[in-house]
Structure 1
């Protein structure tokens, strides 16, 4: 990757990495803090009949999954109830995310249930284990990207870290790891985000054109790697063996590899960006804790974990109920949908004292930011390493890092389903 590709000022950054704009394009932006409203709902009951947007009195203009349209929804807000649902995929299924026009074939990890999900996940999971995150990913992608971005930031006295730092690390990490050229990173993300039904800012014709661009780019990459393998994720997947129950072992098809690649590219290039921003936002708005982290870098990991608990960037996941079941006082029917509140679960006062406070010294308990059970985030180890290396590098290079008092104060924004800071204007020196 050429330095000017990674560090250039590109207008696509402003379009793709603005949390409010992203939520508005999807139609799920909310303009008020609903934290206390959710606390009140949870205090009344851990599970409520209805969509959260209905319960909060928000406009009903958004459907995250087409397969959930027209179904009875239930909102789950306590840690205990969310954990039960996450750990029981036989009843609470990820098939709610499946496009009903596509069906099970051609879908990715997010839409599948065990045992098919487990079989597909095993074809790519070894590359995302912590040992590889700390070795292959750092050497191949993360460290070099961060080094070049720190050098770029050092040319000025102030910066906007959301665009100039947080947005760039994950998208180029994933792009390079897959085997795409650096200058394809933003174009790929732009095309993919504007090829799905979630984007309301483009026409159907534009969606189809963007979808064709995504498929063509990935198909060409897989074809090239079949002819000449390299040290990248696509080449690894070409060599992987899929072991589906009741079927003989076989390689992944081109379609299966491109489906994996799209998931890795979009998830890895999106959620890590917002979560790194959330952790930096939390530290910058809690200067006494930032000072402690600067003085003791062993606290960086604690700061990241507390950021994940305090404000996970993807605070709601959905599940399809597969069979009639009594669930926390509700008689659920097969075909109903659960809205699982990871964010609300992470602030459940029955599990955490002072749940709305950001506290890096909080007793360590598992939080739900990366999910639980079968679908626990595939890329969580890589995301942890990106955030830890990125934050440490910032503090090494700019020990006086602080919010820029002359800029508008940043705040958390977005939709119910994705959160992040409005910006991160800082003084570097």
Structure 2
């Protein structure tokens, strides 16, 4: 299998892009395990006055809106989080204009209402389940997974975090857009620097790099469309009040940057969390090996048990209330999916990882009109990767000569394993 199907993380700089501890340190965010404190707070009530970081006594770490603590509420229970997700009249995504929107501009993440629906409809057909299981899988995912495992199985040990979990989604999403392989890691580095650069100057230069890479590709696809996502964006029609029109370069640039950032980051970490959970529960790993119908329930359970991004924000559009707490227009709500996904009113023994658990809806990919656009692609990548892991790495186990893996990251967002050092029988 040709290496042109997946990037290889060879340098320390490349590997640092896919280590949550390094990522957190580079952006000045505090790395710690939040679940004990989160669950203790959830035990106080379904919703509490204050921001989540304020209640935990930690810095905002990039997730602070323009609200005071008195004008903030954090939702902890399944019912409270669900109410906010499903109520688009009282709660909007405007909150993200003050966080990620400052770096990426107007994207799906900052839009609401008709504008959001129209822009989302541009990409929605290409991220539905049938497209993930067909076009993405057949054209990009299988080839990338095969290339990565060809490298891994040349040895009897690996760090699956940097040899599988990190390169897989960024390769799939980037090549699916049409980025040349040589530009994938520079592009991913530029996205990281634009969002979390150590200085405004670094972030500004990274933004220029992103624009140069994408605008060059967009110009080529306008002249010569290919079977990739940027070509589909170039030729798509955006509905407006004045009638349909084509997306301009800036709109395509922002769309692609957001999806590469989200798709390359969320799936990398979540696949690593799933592998760690399975290796920590070898009986469940063997059950999955024996019965591949458990693949999708395993992914569903891992994303419930430990979502890589356990926090989302919402803006309060008009005076309302949540679990008896008054909210004024312009205030903020912090949605703690970590605790909502472990609500004992919804799941028995919710803190336990159990792939045999009956499948129920949870919030790892959000919910409602702003549910993650790429969730079906993410699940497909994880399913193919886990299946190949079971097929091609016999007697898979932790490497006793390496430090134990731990889930790390910048506090309340972007969590994943710092490494996944394993051994297996050579093929």
**TM over 0.5, shorter chain:** yes
User: Which residue in the other structure is 2:54 paired with?
Assistant: 54
Give, in angstroms, the shift of residue 99 of structure 1. 4.6
Contact kept? 1:314, 1:417, Cα under 8 Å: yes
Contact kept? 1:2, 1:182, Cα under 8 Å: no
Give, in angstroms, the shift of residue 172 of structure 1. 0.4
User: Is residue 204 of structure 1 aligned with residue 203 of structure 2?
Assistant: no
User: Is residue 227 of structure 1 aligned with residue 223 of structure 2?
Assistant: yes
- Distance in 2, matches of 1:160 and 1:388, equals 19
Q: Aligned to 2:138, what secondary structure does the other structure show?
A: helix
User: Is residue 351 of structure 1 aligned with residue 346 of structure 2?
Assistant: yes
User: Is residue 163 of structure 1 aligned with residue 126 of structure 2?
Assistant: no
Give, in angstroms, the shift of residue 70 of structure 1. 8.1
User: Which residue in the other structure is 1:176 paired with?
Assistant: 175
Q: What is the number of residues matched between the two proteins?
A: 422
**Segment drifting more, 38-47 vs 92-101:** 92-101
- Distance in 1, matches of 2:304 and 2:182, equals 34
User: Which residue in the other structure is 2:18 paired with?
Assistant: 17
Q: Aligned to 1:195, what secondary structure does the other structure show?
A: helix
Where in structure 2 are the equivalents of 1:269-308 lying within 5 Å?
269-308=264-303
CA shift in 2, pair 1:262/1:102, >3 Å: closer
- Distance in 2, matches of 1:346 and 1:100, equals 24
- Distance in 1, matches of 2:390 and 2:110, equals 39
- Distance in 2, matches of 1:71 and 1:44, equals 18
> Root-mean-square deviation (CA), in Å?
2.0
Question: Structure 1, residues 256-302: CA drift from partner, whole Å, max 9, x if none?
Answer: 11111111111111100000001001000000100100111111111
- Distance in 1, matches of 2:416 and 2:303, equals 12
Give, in angstroms, the shift of residue 361 of structure 1. 0.8
Give, in angstroms, the shift of residue 303 of structure 1. 0.9
State the TM-score, normalized to the length of structure 2: 0.94
CA shift in 2, pair 1:254/1:188, >3 Å: same
Give, in angstroms, the shift of residue 17 of structure 1. 0.5
User: Which residue in the other structure is 1:416 paired with?
Assistant: 412
CA shift in 2, pair 1:277/1:247, >3 Å: same
User: Is residue 329 of structure 1 aligned with residue 324 of structure 2?
Assistant: yes
Structure 2 residue runs without a partner (length 5+): none
Question: Structure 1, residues 305-328: CA drift from partner, whole Å, max 9, x if none?
Answer: 100000001110001111111211
**Segment drifting more, 166-175 vs 402-411:** 402-411
Contact kept? 1:74, 1:337, Cα under 8 Å: yes
Give, in angstroms, the shift of residue 22 of structure 1. 1.7
CA shift in 2, pair 1:102/1:150, >3 Å: closer
Question: Structure 1, residues 106-133: CA drift from partner, whole Å, max 9, x if none?
Answer: 5110100111101000011101111111
- Distance in 2, matches of 1:120 and 1:188, equals 23
Contact kept? 1:68, 1:96, Cα under 8 Å: no
Q: Aligned to 2:326, what secondary structure does the other structure show?
A: strand
Contact kept? 2:51, 2:69, Cα under 8 Å: no
- Distance in 2, matches of 1:117 and 1:227, equals 28
User: Which residue in the other structure is 1:247 paired with?
Assistant: 242
User: Which residue in the other structure is 1:400 paired with?
Assistant: 395
- Distance in 2, matches of 1:422 and 1:101, equals 24
- Distance in 2, matches of 1:65 and 1:247, equals 37
CA shift in 2, pair 1:191/1:69, >3 Å: farther
Question: Structure 1, residues 356-379: CA drift from partner, whole Å, max 9, x if none?
Answer: 100011111101000000111100
User: Is residue 427 of structure 1 aligned with residue 423 of structure 2?
Assistant: yes
Where in structure 2 are the equivalents of 1:6-155 lying within 5 Å?
6-7=7-8, 9-31=10-32, 33-58=33-58, 60=59, 62-64=61-63, 67=66, 72-99=71-98, 107-155=106-154
CA shift in 2, pair 1:340/1:102, >3 Å: closer
- Distance in 2, matches of 1:345 and 1:26, equals 28
- Distance in 2, matches of 1:267 and 1:379, equals 8
Aligned equivalent of 2:315, options 314, 317, 320: 320
- Distance in 1, matches of 2:330 and 2:276, equals 39
Contact kept? 1:274, 1:313, Cα under 8 Å: yes
- Distance in 1, matches of 2:9 and 2:60, equals 37
Contact kept? 1:106, 1:256, Cα under 8 Å: no
- Distance in 1, matches of 2:387 and 2:100, equals 46
Structure 1 residue runs without a partner (length 5+): none
Contact kept? 1:143, 1:389, Cα under 8 Å: yes
